[in-house]
Amino acid sequence: MHPSETVINDYVDEALESPERADERRALVAHLDGCESCRRLVEDLRGIRRVAGSLDLREPPVRVWSRIERAIALEPRAADAQGDARLRGSRYNLMGLAAAAVVALATVVGVRYGLTTRSTSETADSVVRATSDDAMSVEAELREAESHYDKAIKGLEQITKAEQGTFDSATAATLQKNLAVIDQAINESRAAVVAQPASEPARESLMENFKAKLGLLQDTVALINEMRKGNEAGTARIVSGLNKKG
Amino acid sequence: MSAIRQRPPIPFPSNKATVSQAGQPADADLVARCQAGDAEAFELIYRRHAARLYSLACRMAGSPEDGEDLLQEIFLQAYRKLGSFKGDAALGTWIYRLALNHCLDFVRSRQAKMNKLTESLDAEAAIEPTGKRETPIARIDLDRALERLPDGCREAFVLHDVEGLDHKEVAALLGIAEGTSKSQVFKARLKLRALLT
């Protein structure tokens, strides 16, 4: 008879070492001597435990700090309350502009979430009654979302255009190429929405493409910041990411 | 609908505490500089602790994408709360506690949304490996396999086997019995064994 899950688990966790559990330990060790499947199980579980305890740390992508910086630029600062203006460094001006785009994005996500929750919670009767109203409402919300994305994208485009001279020709070309691909995808999905206004996949695709463009522009702003800071490693990581997207 | 649980104090695994490198400003100095309005100091705090917390967030959430979002939220919360940080605990302990709370809230909220019961995973966990493993388990393979563990047993496994908390601490954090913590970790190990063979 094989030992219980509890005993094997405790043995793997080295919890059978106490004198009170010496008998359990001896019985298990004796069983393991003659049972290959249990012995393999214990070896494998010990290996998993050992490796799990020595996993490498993961380095977060550079864009995470850039996003935090942008969000911080929107925060009421502790230093402001103390009349200290030291946090108002020039590097945060760029962040403040980009932060407006993030706020716009959050609004868009809110709009989309509202659409989903409402459509799943309504009863069949009310859906029938409200079909025409909803179609108009969906269109209006789609227009609103598009308008928010447009504003966010325009804001970031202004920043990146103003700083375009910062990039070397290869990076500038990669950025242009990536933007052109996304713009084409936006145009195509927009045409699909016009042709089939009720198509959920078409609307989703348009929003995804807007999101992709916003993400690319955010990465571009992050790149500008890393270059300004003279962070070569951060710059290289972002450029590598841009190349992969291209 | 589950009742709101009183959250127990969160321990910090001592074997993984962040240690300042020689020549680098101490955490206490960075906190003081942040509180005085030095933006660069907050970035240094981020650089020092981000990898540790990103690793925790990715593994608890089971995806790098969610890990990124969580890391951003954790540091924004740290930025907001740093003004009231009194230094009763080390900065690493304080920020780890904050991160762990955030990760647990995220996982609970996702579980509530998906109405997912970990008890239903019993059958799935009892998977036998298809063959005998000939080579040692690579860290990168195990890290990837973690993402395929079901919610519930993944959190218990990450807290116990990766983060080094004992079952009593894991049980208190997850609001489960100590025996359930042991059982969830065992299930996770069995599932990983099957995935890695």
Give a yes or no: residue B12 inside a domain: no
User: Considering chain B, what percentage of its residues have pLDDT values greater than 70?
Assistant: 78
pLDDT at A117 over 60: no
- Indicate whether A121 and A201 sit together in one domain: yes
DSSP state of A106: H
The number of distinct structural domains making up chain B is 2
In a domain, B11, yes or no: no
Extract the tokens encoding A108. 């868009």
Asked, for residue A196, whether it belongs to a domain, the answer is yes
CATH code (residue B77):
1.10.1740.10
Of B90, B115, B140, the residue that ends a domain is B115
8 A C-beta contact, residue A148 and residue A108: yes
- Measure CA of the first residue to CA of the last residue in chain A; give whole Å: 60
> Which pLDDT tens digit goes with each residue over A24-67?
999 999 999 999 999 999 999 999 999 999 999 999 988 899 88
Least Cα separation, residue B111 to chain A (angstroms): 17
B33 and B110 together in one domain: yes
Tokens of A39: 């012995």
Domain count, chain A: 2
- Amino acid at the residue B39: A
Whole-prediction pTM: 0.61
Any domain includes B2: no
The answer to whether position B46 is within a domain reads yes
Assess whether A17 and A130 both reside in one domain: no
The pLDDT > 90 percentage for chain B reads: 56
Residue A64: which of B68, B182, B197 has the nearest Cβ?
A: B68
User: What CATH number is associated with residue B178?
Assistant: 1.10.10.10
- Please give the residue range of the domain that contains residue A66: 62-245
Dist CA A47 CA B139 (whole Å): 11
Tell me: the pLDDT tens digits for B54-92? 999 999 999 999 999 999 999 999 999 998 888 888 899
Distance CA A58, CA A6 (A): 33
Question: B60 is in which domain, residue-wise?
Answer: 21-115
**Chain B residues in contact with A71 (beta carbon < 8 A):** 72, 76
Retrieve residue A77's tokens: 């600062």
% of chain A surpassing 90 pLDDT: 18
- In chain A, residues 69-88 whose CB comes closer than 8 Å to chain B: 69, 71-72, 75, 77-79, 82, 84-87
Which residues on B lie below 8 Å from A3 (Cβ)? none
Of A5, A52, A87, which is closest to B37 when you measure between CB atoms? A87
Same domain, B101 and B157: no
What value does the mean pLDDT take over residues A122-148?
Answer: 59
State whether A204 and A222 are in the same domain: yes
| Residue A106 and residue A139 share a domain | yes
Residue A57 lies in a domain: no
Residue among A45, A61, A71 whose CB faces B189 most closely: A45
Chain B residues near residue A69 by CB distance under 8 angstroms: 43
Same domain for A133 and A105: yes
Share of chain A above pLDDT 70, in %: 73
Instruction: Examine the domain organization and report whether A187 and A148 are in the same domain.
Output: yes
Cβ–Cβ pairs < 8 A, chains A and B: 120
Q: Do A84 and A121 share a domain, yes or no? A: yes
For residue A53 the two structure tokens come to 């305890």
- Between B18 and A193, the more confident residue is A193
Note whether B111 and B27 are same-domain residues: yes
A191 or B188, which is more confident? B188
Asked whether residue B109 falls in the same domain as residue B30, the answer is yes
